Structure 1
Amino acid sequence: MIHSTIRRMLAWALAGVALAAAGPALAREPSAIGQSAHELPVALDAAGQLKQLVVESRAGFGWLRVAGGVQFQTGGMTKNVLFYGSGIVRVSAHKGESHTRQPSLVVVASPQESQLDVEESADALTIAGAGLRVIVDKSTGTVAFQRLDGTPLVREQDAPVLTPAAEPSGTETYAVEQRFALTPDESLYGLGQYNEPYMDYRGRDVLMVQTNIGIVVPFMVSTRRYGLLWDTYSKMTFSDGPRGAVFRAENAPAGVDYYLVAGDTMDGVIAGYRHLTGAAPMFPKYAFGLFMSKERYATQQRLLEVVRRFRRERFPLDVIVQDWQYWGGQKDGQWDGNWSGMIWDPERYPDPAGMVRTLHEDLHTRLMVSIWPSVGNDTALAGELDARGLRFEPLHWISGRARIYDAFSDEGRAIYFKHAKKGLFDIGVDALWMDGTEVEVGGAAHDPAEVEADIKRLGRNAMGDFGRYLNIYSLLTTRGIYEGHRASADLADRRVFTLTRSAWAGQQRHAALPWSGDTTAGWAALRAQIAGGLNVSMAGLPYWTQDVGGFFVNAPGGERDPAYRELFARWNQFGVFNPVYRIHGTSIEREPWVFKALEPEVYRSIRRAAELRYRLLPYIYSLAWASTHDGYTMMRGLAMDFPDQPALRRVDDTYMFGPAFLVQPITRPMFHAELPPPPTVPAAQLRTSDGRPGLELEYYRGTEFEEFASRTIDTQAEHHWPGPPLDGVPPGLAGLQNFSARWRGQIIAAEDGEHEIGVEGDDGFRVWLDDELVVDEWKESGARFAGARMLLRKGQAVRVRIDYFQKGGGRSMRLAWRTPGERHALEEHQRQLDPRQATLLPAGTDWYDFWTGQRHAGGASAARRYAIDEFPLFVRAGSIVPLGPLVQHVDEKPDAPYEVRIYPGADGRFTLYDDDGETYAYENGEYATVALAWDDARRALRIGARKGSFPGMVGQRTLNVRLMPSAPGDRAQIRTVRFHGEPIELQFTP
């Protein structure tokens, strides 16, 4: 055998000779033909020796066979077509020179030397391989993709456009564009999450830049059962219009580089994506229970108190989450330098190891802990990174004493993991929450342009310019945790589970899932979460989650507001049908029992939904195995199961959860109208104490009016600093953090009747009306409105005083009101609320209402009234749904009976899966499956023989098989069997 390095050099030399025979242009850059890297694939025979690369050509068009495919040159462009498996083809193109030899950071598969049939005609070169036929137009170099039976999939509409460019460092690169011709009847999904209420990208424009609330995954799937993976890491856009669909990339050093994946089903397409980019490992079983999180539990004592309360309430819980600042915080108004140093503040967390032991041994609860890529300057972690130049110079916005570590460096990732292990994993922490991984540097985390600028200001990383690597920080930093964990002898057999605020193609192989970032509560936000989560799943990532209830809550009174409580209950119902179920956010108290005293019906709704989640654990855990083993997708847009029903293509609020459940979260108020933001008090209604227009405004340095800065007349009490009426920093202030302000004057009533007067602000504020303190929101928090009601006469003057402070982050203050006329309009809107909801049921099957058992024909709408503890949830006929016992955590009652529900009306199958729930022994075959099959015509259920085993497996289990009634007046039939692992057939009467 030839040493690999020498072998590659010989291959390059041999390829150069071969390319030269085809023409000078082909010989310029043989290294551009790629495997999973942008490198020449080495063709070896069975003995490991170099094969001869055969050059073939006809007049005006040269091509040659390479390992896994074909290279050709036309119109000054060098293109490669390489097969990576059945139905998977890579297409790359450049102008004779690739400006990188960097292996792909996304694709882990290599070209396969399968049998290729190549035919050349006067006009075209046709390459037929496993599952696909690729046709090259010899005059333009464009390629078209077909199934082997000639069915067209998609084609390049134009030759790629490659524009030479240069990075800030001077390194050469390309800006690229590739246009595709689509068929009129196809729909497109995937690409990640962009805080929009739609899923189908036909006719849409997408800016692909990571943000706090935006997740970029450059894989798109079509209802024609193909997908496109774009292997470029810079800022990108996708647009679909009259001239076709086009991908553009700002910085693509290897030129155009994409993969087409075809399958018989959309599941097959996504399985092909996972073949390319890596399978998703099994999460630990606890990951499918409830995560309770908030911003934040401030002490060890408080965290334990919350978990103990869960256990007293017998409300199920598996994971408690410790958010930021457990490492320290602020002293004398300044952040300390311990930010995300993987250390614990000894005053507030005096015994973190003991805390974890109590959680594990006494309370049967796991601990997830937040970490950030920004590392405080005073930490040992920062010192070790800085000694090797592995932190970037720009300061992180929140503390001014932290910098981002270089996750593009192998050494940087190893150092970061070492400290995470020492400070967190070694004391028993179960999972990490990697926040800010888009990567967040400045404070404008929601604006793509500002996030892009912040990231680019980081300059260069260990791999190159940040313009080239704009979007993939999350992929690299999660890689460091996963690989470090798996390589650690004392951690290697504990499954990795990582939550991140960003994602990229291939990140699923690191056992990392994204959540949708710091959303702001509202019905429109809930609606957008559904579409966004589905498009993340359809971009190939099997797991996604979000903040139940919204991260920021602007409702007046927070959890005390009935309208918000209704929203929370509906959001929670959506959360239980996410792959991972999390309650999280700031602004309010949101532990479930908080709602018990406020509104028992809402508490009952939250509890009923959570208990359903826990009963569904055998179903969900089996779907997780299908995701790992088969490339399955748990949370499924309707197009995945019904791609040929055009009426469903743009249904963005309804989805399948596994093969059985049709879920439609309620995304509008039925009982309490959502209040729009109150209007700003008009300038004409404001007077100073001496009768001039406006209010008197004083600025102070410090958040408690410590030092007077300046005085002015504010003609309109509405500010979003920096911005009008001031374009910069108010006079006398050093900046736009850590200041306070005071407004004084009069408000003139606009109408007779009851007015609601208050402030919408971020951060803290107090309001006095006629010298009475009526609003006290003196706390650091996001934007929200709080006000008080007063009965006034038109023209009546009300004395007003507003105190306000700004700490950091968002900066806004607005004096607002609701006049009697506006309040009347809201009351009329309340009277028009409708508690009915209609659900469009896919055709081709019958559906059962999960709550009532009523059977409906597909292809029509089912409508009824829904109480606060129910929502549209239907089960497909032919479904087999295994249900477990009601438990307080996933490990309770491991040998309890299962209920197996059968919904008749069609044949059905389901594979029940189990393993130890903790280790990677399943990778060595230590797991068990049981195939369940329902024969609808015979009304018989076959329970197959158990296949496989694992230590600790429950050898015998009682199964209560329930055949659901299929017509009004029917009764459920129940058969109880003791399953020992041998096959059983159960017969039910007609």
Structure 2
Amino acid sequence: MRVRSALYLLLFVALSSFTGPIKSFKKLDDGVLVELEQTSAADPQYVKLQVIADNIIHVVAAPTREFGNEESLMVIDTGKAPAGWTIKENNDGLVLSTKSLQVKVAASTGEVTFQDKAGNTILQETGGSGNAFTPVKFGQEKSYALQQAFKAADGEAFYGLGQHQTGLMNYRGWQVDLTQYNSVAVVPFMVSNRNYGILWDNNSITKFGDVRPYQPLSSLKLYTKDNKPGGLTATYISAPKSGKAPIVRLEKDINYEFLEQLKNFPEGYSLEGGTVTWEGYIEPDASGEFHFSMPASGYVKVWIDNELLLDKWREAWNPGQSVFTQKLEKGRRHPFKIEWNPDGGQSFIALRYLTPQTPAEKSRIAFASEAGDKINYYFVNGRNIDEVISGYRTLTGAAQVMPKWAMGFWQSRERYKTQEEILSTAKEFRKREIPIDNIVLDWSYWKEDQWGSHEFDETRFPDAEGMIDELHDKYNMHFMISVWPKFYEGTANYKLFDDKGLLYKTSINEGIRDWIGKGYVSTFYDAFNPEGRKLFWKLLNEKLYSKGVDAWWLDATEPDILSNSSIEHRKALMNPTYLGAADKVFNAYVLMQNKAIYEGQRSVAPNKRVFILTRSAFGGLQRYGAATWSGDIAATFDEMGRQIPAGLNFSLSGLPYWTTDIGGFFVENKYDRPEPKGEALEQWRELETRWYQYGTFTPLFRSHGQFPYREVFNVAPADHKAYKSIVYYNKLRYRLMPYIYSLTGKVYHDDYTIMRALVMDFGQDKKVFNIGDQFMFGPGLLINPVYEYKATTRSLYLPAGTGWYNLYDGKYVKGGQQLTADAPYERMPIFVKEGAILPFGPEIEYAAEKPAETITLYVYGGKDGKFELYEDENTNYNYEKGKFAIIPITYNEAAKTLTIGKREGSFDGMLKNRTFNVVYINQNRPKELQFDATPDQVIKYSGKSKSVKLK
């Protein structure tokens, strides 16, 4: 960073031994403040390095002598700097040293470089990406557009940044748009395979990676399908029954991304039942690999050079983002075609591109934000990615131990419309002895014109409190309810918030109506306002929590005040906020809304674990007892495949709890209009089966979606292979509860990550850097979802450096190889890491049905192994006070010895005695996964260390 101007020069030490931007510096209690010569009007004036920990450095730069004192929304109190750090000057500039890092400010440029103690460069700033500060104004509020670039090492891979559903795993070379949106969850924390991360502490819309602005299609030379210059041939064909002739016109751009742009369709043309084709030729003025970005809904296919590059469906009302590349040649006319079936009366499509990167651009990454008073980021280093994520949580807060019941199965649908539907569903699960812990009530349980009342419609839910009691007492189920930050104009709660100035009023003033009934005018409350948060919780507490609600489903927390409105209009709809212009805090609404519920519940029930499921995310969300689901996604195999890297990058962002709508939220017409039959029905069942298999091994196991109903007994009859497979994996999840709940404990106590991209555990194997459709579930299980229709095998990679066992038959396979694994309809390929120790509990129908007095311990030989069995009181926060227990379990390969170590810690109600049935597997002794198999050893355990030989 280049720094300029002067601040209290008498307090600074001048550097006169060399020439360069550095004018002076001042040592602080926790770092150093550096003043540099001004070299450009766009450069910052001051840079500050703050030591947070030996491996965490806070970097701040400002364009004036004032850094501003606004409180970070993401980062909590970082405490005092560790002892032992130093600041020195030399001919090259300044060097701040900690026990593990050297941080240099270059005399010649003012750029910051992070090195290890041996002097090896980890990360280096570079000024080559453009202006650091560009003045902007939001109403009367002045701010800056910010940009900071870094050099990227050869072969370096980048992950994290929240949840993005383009199918990418490694973001190297791509642009990642950090804008909150239904199905896009923003976390501005990037992780590198080189074992460092950057937390970009900015709340505005941000871009990462290749931050150059996308170009409209019209920036290319365009030709019609007849090779005439000026644009593409656009053909609008109306619904066959309309009797209307096709409309053909010349178009230079395809840009129907938002509501405001739909007026640009041909006058009189209706998307309902119609199709659109764009065709012709595109000619670039450069050669190389072009990147294309297409937000679209409906059915869309894209060809360039007669090669099909995209073939996707997404529900009309909720477009999804796709990216693809194609090599183009300067001066050559490339055949180009798009076929679009909007599949609805209101649908969206756009196309834009980035020109090929120069070599310099390829070696650079950047963060670029729309608004902020300063460049503000944290560099986090570690020996591995787990330590990097631990550093992120040091900054932003620990993730709690989720209640044990939350780790069981969740059943939901859009939506249960009556009390009877909920109770009859609960009854059916228990009748069929299918494990389940939670049932969910989605939106519209209120009277039609009373959104925001938080009250049940008594005609459909005559005794809501009694219903919840029955779920608790009769069916041993927990109950989650959907809550929106939305209020209909004129309702009592609207008036309550409005009288205190706690509502966003733009949508009211514009008279925007939603999609319910005749349409109602509504708005959201300002969650940035502390008074608003307290009042919102007060309503929830009085209307819902007092009735026994166990968990909160916070929907539309992007915030989604008007779906598919332009980004500028979305900002206007939440302006002004308590903290100022919405432009500066746009991405952080979800954090404040979750804060309201978490702090509210803990204020009235301080020892009952909070559980929140929310549709968005932001840095620090994990500290509020919150999980995120991937939004209103489509029910297709392609969409399922995109969930896998989305969830892995979300986990790499430091947030450990994530889930999808098993089966996808919204379905194609063939599945529900009318009810599916024949091939459509069987395709639907297979999609559900494959998604359930995958969902079993996501951190949260949850089914949700629109009709057809998603309960397994509504998916298929009990004798169908879909039903059998879904129930098999459900029961396997519950058998694994000792393993899963131990991982949940490890999330809090060790900053662990449950759903693990392969780069986390096999970072020395370059072949895993781009693998986004396989992952580790905890330390032992390699999960390989099947997301192709009618597939009976799947190609997968077994990471090098270890051997692997097939979970089902116990057969050994060497690592470091590509494998075509069997994947029959009923089974997903799962492999167990050599040295793994897997604890399986008893067969149960809900998580707390009975303690695991007998644990079947599968031990996979070949390497040393370890596992810590974690237990606590399941539903309270006493673990924060030390009330938990850990049983260390180790396996020594050389001695063929298994040791159940001395129990550490205790808690009320702890099981003091138990039995471990040990099943030993090695390369020469494959064994099927059978919980009633004769054990190789039986260990009676009472808390003292015991060792046994395994043969």
TM-score, L = length of structure 1: 0.76
| CA–CA distance in structure 1, aligned partners of residues 418 and 11 of structure 2 | 67
Confirm whether residue 67 of structure 1 aligns to residue 67 of structure 2. Answer: no
For residues 13-24 of structure 1, the aligned pairs below 5 Å read none
Aligned to 1:18: none
Kindly name which structure, 1 or 2, has the bigger radius of gyration based on alpha carbons: 1
Confirm whether residue 312 of structure 1 aligns to residue 431 of structure 2. Answer: yes
| CA–CA distance in structure 2, aligned partners of residues 210 and 438 of structure 1 | 5
Aligned to 2:16: 58
Kindly indicate whether the alpha-carbon contact (under 8 Å) linking 1:397 and 1:443 is maintained by their aligned counterparts in 2: no
In structure 1, which of residues 127, 140, 144 is the aligned counterpart of residue 96 of structure 2? 127
Aligned letter for 2:15?
Answer: S
Aligned letter for 2:760?
Answer: M
What is the percent sequence identity of the aligned residues? Answer: 36
Aligned to 2:469: 357
Q: Which has the higher contact order (CA 8 A, sep 6+)?
A: 2
Kindly indicate whether the alpha-carbon contact (under 8 Å) linking 1:381 and 1:416 is maintained by their aligned counterparts in 2: no
Kindly indicate whether the alpha-carbon contact (under 8 Å) linking 2:811 and 2:926 is maintained by their aligned counterparts in 1: no
> Cα deviation per residue 1:565-616 (whole Å; 9 max; x = unaligned)?
1111111111011000110011311110123328710101111111111111
Confirm whether residue 912 of structure 1 aligns to residue 843 of structure 2. Answer: no
In structure 1, which of residues 464, 468, 484 is the aligned counterpart of residue 584 of structure 2? 468
1:123 positional shift: 2.2
For residues 443-842 of structure 1, the aligned pairs below 5 Å read 443-444=563-564, 450-451=566-567, 453-488=569-604, 491-554=605-668, 556-558=670-672, 560=677, 561-597=681-717, 600-670=720-790, 835-842=792-799
In structure 2, which of residues 125, 136, 140 is the aligned counterpart of residue 166 of structure 1? 136
Kindly indicate whether the alpha-carbon contact (under 8 Å) linking 2:5 and 2:36 is maintained by their aligned counterparts in 1: no
> Cα deviation per residue 1:311-333 (whole Å; 9 max; x = unaligned)?
0011111000000011122xxxx
1:555 positional shift: 5.4
> Cα deviation per residue 1:774-812 (whole Å; 9 max; x = unaligned)?
xxxxxxxxxxxxxxxxxxxxxxxxxxxxxxxxxxxxxxx
Aligned letter for 1:340?
Answer: G
Kindly indicate whether the alpha-carbon contact (under 8 Å) linking 2:197 and 2:388 is maintained by their aligned counterparts in 1: yes
After superposition, the Cα gap between the structure-2 partners of 1:599 and 1:233, relative to the gap in structure 1 and judged at 3 Å, is: farther
| CA–CA distance in structure 2, aligned partners of residues 967 and 912 of structure 1 | 28
In structure 2, which of residues 387, 403, 406 is the aligned counterpart of residue 268 of structure 1? 387
> Cα deviation per residue 1:376-397 (whole Å; 9 max; x = unaligned)?
3344432221111101111463
1:937 positional shift: 1.0
Confirm whether residue 206 of structure 1 aligns to residue 187 of structure 2. Answer: no
Aligned to 1:680: none
After superposition, the Cα gap between the structure-2 partners of 1:485 and 1:68, relative to the gap in structure 1 and judged at 3 Å, is: same
| CA–CA distance in structure 1, aligned partners of residues 465 and 683 of structure 2 | 41
1:838 positional shift: 2.4
Aligned to 2:800: 843
Confirm whether residue 283 of structure 1 aligns to residue 402 of structure 2. Answer: yes
Kindly indicate whether the alpha-carbon contact (under 8 Å) linking 2:136 and 2:145 is maintained by their aligned counterparts in 1: no
After superposition, the Cα gap between the structure-2 partners of 1:342 and 1:970, relative to the gap in structure 1 and judged at 3 Å, is: closer
Aligned letter for 1:977?
Answer: I
Confirm whether residue 87 of structure 1 aligns to residue 49 of structure 2. Answer: no
| CA–CA distance in structure 2, aligned partners of residues 505 and 493 of structure 1 | 25
Kindly indicate whether the alpha-carbon contact (under 8 Å) linking 1:162 and 1:255 is maintained by their aligned counterparts in 2: no
Equivalent position SS for 2:199: strand
| CA–CA distance in structure 2, aligned partners of residues 153 and 555 of structure 1 | 51
1:669 positional shift: 1.4
Aligned letter for 1:475?
Answer: L
| CA–CA distance in structure 1, aligned partners of residues 14 and 874 of structure 2 | 55
Kindly indicate whether the alpha-carbon contact (under 8 Å) linking 1:417 and 1:481 is maintained by their aligned counterparts in 2: yes
In structure 2, which of residues 117, 121, 141 is the aligned counterpart of residue 152 of structure 1? 121
Aligned letter for 1:934?
Answer: Y
> Cα deviation per residue 1:473-504 (whole Å; 9 max; x = unaligned)?
0000101111111111xx11110000000000
> Cα deviation per residue 1:638-671 (whole Å; 9 max; x = unaligned)?
101111211111111011111101111001112x
For residues 174-193 of structure 1, the aligned pairs below 5 Å read 174-193=144-163
Aligned letter for 2:373?
Answer: A
Equivalent position SS for 1:347: coil
After superposition, the Cα gap between the structure-2 partners of 1:154 and 1:247, relative to the gap in structure 1 and judged at 3 Å, is: same
1:185 positional shift: 1.9
Aligned letter for 1:308?
Answer: K
| CA–CA distance in structure 1, aligned partners of residues 79 and 576 of structure 2 | 29
Confirm whether residue 303 of structure 1 aligns to residue 303 of structure 2. Answer: no
Kindly indicate whether the alpha-carbon contact (under 8 Å) linking 2:738 and 2:852 is maintained by their aligned counterparts in 1: no
Aligned letter for 2:51?
Answer: F
Kindly indicate whether the alpha-carbon contact (under 8 Å) linking 1:104 and 1:231 is maintained by their aligned counterparts in 2: yes
Kindly indicate whether the alpha-carbon contact (under 8 Å) linking 2:146 and 2:372 is maintained by their aligned counterparts in 1: no
Aligned to 1:25: 6
| CA–CA distance in structure 1, aligned partners of residues 883 and 14 of structure 2 | 51
In structure 2, which of residues 194, 209, 212 is the aligned counterpart of residue 224 of structure 1? 194
Aligned to 1:954: 911
> Cα deviation per residue 1:839-890 (whole Å; 9 max; x = unaligned)?
2100010000111211000011232332212111000000011111121100
| CA–CA distance in structure 1, aligned partners of residues 638 and 209 of structure 2 | 24
Aligned letter for 2:54?
Answer: S
| CA–CA distance in structure 2, aligned partners of residues 647 and 164 of structure 1 | 40
1:97 positional shift: 4.3
Q: Which moved more, 1:631-640 or 1:103-112?
A: 103-112
1:168 positional shift: 2.5
1:246 positional shift: 3.6
In structure 2, which of residues 936, 942, 946 is the aligned counterpart of residue 980 of structure 1? 942
Equivalent position SS for 2:734: helix
In structure 2, which of residues 58, 70, 74 is the aligned counterpart of residue 102 of structure 1? 70
Aligned letter for 1:939?
Answer: K
1:413 positional shift: 0.1
Aligned letter for 1:926?
Answer: K
Confirm whether residue 884 of structure 1 aligns to residue 837 of structure 2. Answer: no
Aligned letter for 2:868?
Answer: T
Aligned letter for 2:690?
Answer: R
Equivalent position SS for 2:388: helix
> Cα deviation per residue 1:733-764 (whole Å; 9 max; x = unaligned)?
xxxxxxxxxxxxxxxxxxxxxxxxxxxxxxxx
In structure 2, which of residues 807, 810, 833 is the aligned counterpart of residue 853 of structure 1? 810
After superposition, the Cα gap between the structure-2 partners of 1:290 and 1:973, relative to the gap in structure 1 and judged at 3 Å, is: closer
1:131 positional shift: 1.9
Aligned to 1:258: 377
After superposition, the Cα gap between the structure-2 partners of 1:853 and 1:970, relative to the gap in structure 1 and judged at 3 Å, is: closer
Equivalent position SS for 2:627: strand
| CA–CA distance in structure 2, aligned partners of residues 145 and 360 of structure 1 | 54
Q: Which moved more, 1:289-298 or 1:969-978?
A: 969-978
| CA–CA distance in structure 2, aligned partners of residues 581 and 452 of structure 1 | 36
Equivalent position SS for 1:597: coil
After superposition, the Cα gap between the structure-2 partners of 1:611 and 1:112, relative to the gap in structure 1 and judged at 3 Å, is: same
| CA–CA distance in structure 2, aligned partners of residues 631 and 236 of structure 1 | 27
Aligned to 1:12: none
Kindly indicate whether the alpha-carbon contact (under 8 Å) linking 2:835 and 2:860 is maintained by their aligned counterparts in 1: yes
1:966 positional shift: 2.6
| CA–CA distance in structure 2, aligned partners of residues 79 and 26 of structure 1 | 12
> Cα deviation per residue 1:481-528 (whole Å; 9 max; x = unaligned)?
11111111xx11110000000000111000111110000111110111
Q: Which moved more, 1:889-898 or 1:155-164?
A: 155-164
| CA–CA distance in structure 2, aligned partners of residues 261 and 970 of structure 1 | 43
| CA–CA distance in structure 2, aligned partners of residues 268 and 898 of structure 1 | 31
Aligned to 2:882: 925
